């Protein structure tokens, strides 16, 4: 479970984000991935740099909301 990417050139499946996410999306420029992780009382949306089928650096908090919801980012 989690978010995986498929590298078409290598025909490999690559792990991108943890299993406790609502879902993930690439931003329009294709240089980062955003995903949400919920706790009991809040949802944190992370942004992770992405290049050549690999995650770069550490995820950064893009937004934290003080309530939980059940929706896909």
d(CA 43, CA 30): 23
Task: Please count the structural domains in the chain.
Answer: 1
Query: Which residues form the domain of 9?
Result: 3-65
Does pLDDT of 72 surpass 60? no
Residues 6+ apart with CB under 8 A from 31: 49, 50, 51
Does pLDDT of 24 surpass 90? no
Query: Does residue 70 belong to any structural domain of this protein?
Result: no
Query: Does residue 52 belong to any structural domain of this protein?
Result: yes
Does pLDDT of 68 surpass 90? no
Query: Does residue 20 belong to any structural domain of this protein?
Result: yes
Query: Does residue 73 belong to any structural domain of this protein?
Result: no
Query: Does residue 72 belong to any structural domain of this protein?
Result: no
Query: Does residue 21 belong to any structural domain of this protein?
Result: yes
- The 10s digit of each residue's pLDDT in 32-61 is 988 888 888 888 889 989 887 778 899 899
């Amino acid at each position: 479970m989690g978010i995986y990417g498929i590298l078409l050139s290598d025909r490999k499946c690559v792990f991108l984000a943890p299993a406790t996410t609502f879902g993930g999306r690439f931003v329009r420029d294709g240089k980062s991935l955003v995903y949400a992780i919920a706790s009991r009382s809040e949802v944190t949306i992370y942004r992770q740099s992405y290049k050549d089928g690999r995650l770069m650096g550490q995820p950064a908090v893009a937004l934290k909301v003080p309530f939980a919801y059940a929706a896909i980012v």
